[in-house]
Chains A and B, each alone.
Chain A
Amino acid sequence: MQEKLYNAIVEMKEDEALALAREELEGSRDPLELVDLFRKAVEEVGDRYEKGEYFLPELMMTGQIMEQLAELTKEKLKDEYGDSGKTRGKVLIGTVKDDIHDIGKNIVKFMLDANGFEVKDLGVDVPADKFVEEAKVFEPQVIGLSALLTLAFDPMKDTVEALEKAGLRDKIKIMVGGAPVDDQVCEYTGADDWGKDAVEAVSLAKKWVGGA
């Protein structure tokens, strides 16, 4: 049964995955075991993405399936274990000022989330000050800056500088990403590293918080 559920998730069989999960929850299954299974399934989807077998549609579909599965398990999880969520680390993420594109950023958010990070998403068109302000309160180990426009290279740079000025730079690793981002852009912005997709973002975050 568990293997069937795992396969249904990994093979994008949405209805089957949801039906099987409901059955499991109605039985005496420990919800933590299920959460663990979900995490493994997402890892497998990530592996297939890295191998070039899966692409954006599968990541988005997995995101949808996981959202619904999380909703299903939430109640039972809370009843049996309370709110004690232990996370791998904290990531603050957003699309920088003057850019309102969010498809890539949303995928990165979901993948980090599925890999056990606590992610705070500031949305799009986020000014440098806002990143600083939120970083002080949320205390992330990693900040992810996203952009699609070439015009957003400067706002990325400004954000890195603002974090520096606020004295937060030493404590936080910064990654940048988005279609036009490459080594050149990464260096220009002063970020620590960049990734070409959501899987690379997860690898960087894992590397930096020591969870690789």
Chain B
Amino acid sequence: MLTENWSSLTPKEKLETRFDIWMNPEGIEFTPEAEKAFKERTQIIKDAVQLKKPSRIPICPMMGFYPIYYGGVTAQDAMYDYDKLGQALKKYHQDFQPDCMASSFLYGPGKIFEVLDYKLYKWPGHGTSINTPYQCWEDEYMKADEYDLLINDPSNYWMRVYLPRIFGTLEPWKNMAPFTDLVELPFVGASLIPIGIPDVQEAFKKYLEAGQLAMEWIQAIGAIDGEALSTVGTPLILGGFSKAPFDTLGDTLRGTQPLMLDLFRRPEKVKEAMETLIPLHIEMGVRTATANKCPFVFMPLHKGADGFMSNKQYAEFYWPQLKAVILGLIEEGLVPLVFAEGGYNQRLEFLADPDIPEGKTLWFFDTTDMEKVKETLYGKSCFAGNVPVSLFKAGTPEQIDDYVKNLIEKVGQNGGFILSNGAVLDDAHAENLKAMFEAGKKYSP
């Protein structure tokens, strides 16, 4: 609830209110230059999203661990040593002056993952080398016969089945009773009995410890992001967070292969499970974006990319559920910032869905043909992309310059466009990244 009359506002009014709050943050002591830059940046991003022609093309790179390496610290430092994380991000923001922030949020608190014995990812020093970013470790964390458990009561499933599997420390939580047992006085005592089991008590102690670490973390990273905002004037655009329901099943719960087999073995259950996830994913996006006072909800897409399925399967198992989340967010005055990792050439027609209102979404593309993107989405949605990550590492500044020049000539002349890299950037040569910024400014109409 951002204003007192929130529930009586239309989606359009809510969006304007959210933009207004984002563009006029309270309690930030900007330097004069940062304030000027911030106003310009938020305005050009807003103009681009609303399909106008901004005063110049915004340059909003999608950063992975690149700023960390550029700052001369290790991937492990980024997840454990908040001072070093802050130094690296400061150097990145100051040297490159990007139009959006590389938020410290992305790197996560390594200590918490240790305390909880996190299994869904491997991270520096815990399964990957100290200089390699965290990586997802897929497995069949949700079993094939557990769809009904998930569908009937997702929170209960998460707490008592899923979390005990992905956090070693919370394994004893499988003994807990569902909270929905607590319906009358005589049930209260019985429901609390499992909480007294020594293993469960121990698990809760660790959980509380993780909570304390989370407070330390949020204070540290809040200060880092605050400094980027007040001294460089880089706005946060990855404010809220949500997912496509199919990806939650594929990335988080079932794993890619088991889910793909489910499309043949139990297609109706897959669809039912996604129906269950839709409202949860809308609520998550709304809540996180509201907390961060940002109009954008970041949605990284994974398993609906070209090659992952046919258009027929996409039309049945991916798009309707993703669209429902997108529409739910738009209804709450938010701009889904949808990042189509990999190729999305076969899917572009879906994105041009007439049910999705114009100028309310922001699509980032990776290897998709940007001319086709323009043909399909121009006048409907702002689009961003797509300097190939291979060029940043294996190419030259001249090649980057050529690529950006051509890209802007072809798709960036009439507004509704943001310049960015393709896939998330980890490894690059600084001069190549600098070349993207320079070219973006040089060729901006």
Contacts and interface: CB of A to CB of B under 8 A. Distances in A.
Q: Tell whether A and B belong to one assembly.
A: yes
Interface stretch (B125-133, B193-201, B408-416): B125-133
A153 interface: yes
B129 A153 contact: no
Interface stretch (B163-171, B371-379, B421-429): B421-429
B308 interface: yes
Given A150-B389, A151-B133, A153-B394, A197 B307 contact: yes
Given A61-B264, A151-B426, A187 B308 contact: no
Contacts of B428: 150
Interface stretch (A37-45, A93-101, A133-141): A93-101
Contacts of B388: 180, 182, 184
Interface string B12-47: 000000000000000000000000000000000000
Given A60-B257, A149-B133, A179-B423, A55 B394 contact: no
B173 interface: no
A32 interface: no
| Interface size classification for chain B | 35 or more
Interface string B356-388: 000000000001000000000000000000001
A103 interface: yes
Interface in B225-274: 256-257, 260-261, 263-265
Contacts, number: 92
Given A14-B264, A56-B308, A60-B257, A180 B313 contact: no
Contacts of A100: 122, 127-128, 135, 137
B265 A57 contact: no
B392 interface: yes
Contacts of B256: 103
Nearest to B69: A151
A66 to B, nearest CB: 13
B395 interface: yes
Given A54-B310, A55-B313, A149-B426, A60 B394 contact: no
Contacts of A61: 260-261, 264
Contact of A57 (B65, B309, B342, B425): B309
Interface in B389-405: 389-395
Interface in A130-189: 149-151, 153-154, 179-182, 184-185, 187-188
Contacts of A57: 260-261, 263-264, 309-310, 313
Given A54-B310, A56-B309, A151-B133, A185 B394 contact: yes
Size range of the chain A interface in the assembly? 20 to 34
A53 interface: yes
B283 to A, nearest CB: 29
Contacts of B128: 98, 100, 125
Interface in A14-63: 14, 53-57, 60-61
A12 interface: yes
A188 B131 CA distance: 21
Given A53-B310, A56-B309, A187 B394 contact: yes
Contacts of A54: 310
A64 interface: yes
Interface of A: 12, 14, 53-57, 60-61, 64, 98-101, 103, 106, 125, 149-151, 153-154, 179-182, 184-185, 187-188, 197
User: What are the 6 A-B residue pairs with the smallest beta carbon separation, nearest first?
Assistant: A188-B394, A57-B260, A98-B132, A150-B427, A60-B260, A184-B390
29 contacts: A12-B264, A55-B309, A55-B310, A57-B263, A57-B264, A57-B310, A60-B257, A98-B128, A99-B132, A100-B127, A100-B128, A100-B135, A101-B135, A103-B138, A103-B257, A150-B390, A150-B423, A150-B426, A150-B428, A151-B426, A153-B390, A153-B427, A154-B427, A179-B423, A181-B390, A184-B390, A184-B391, A188-B393, A197-B307
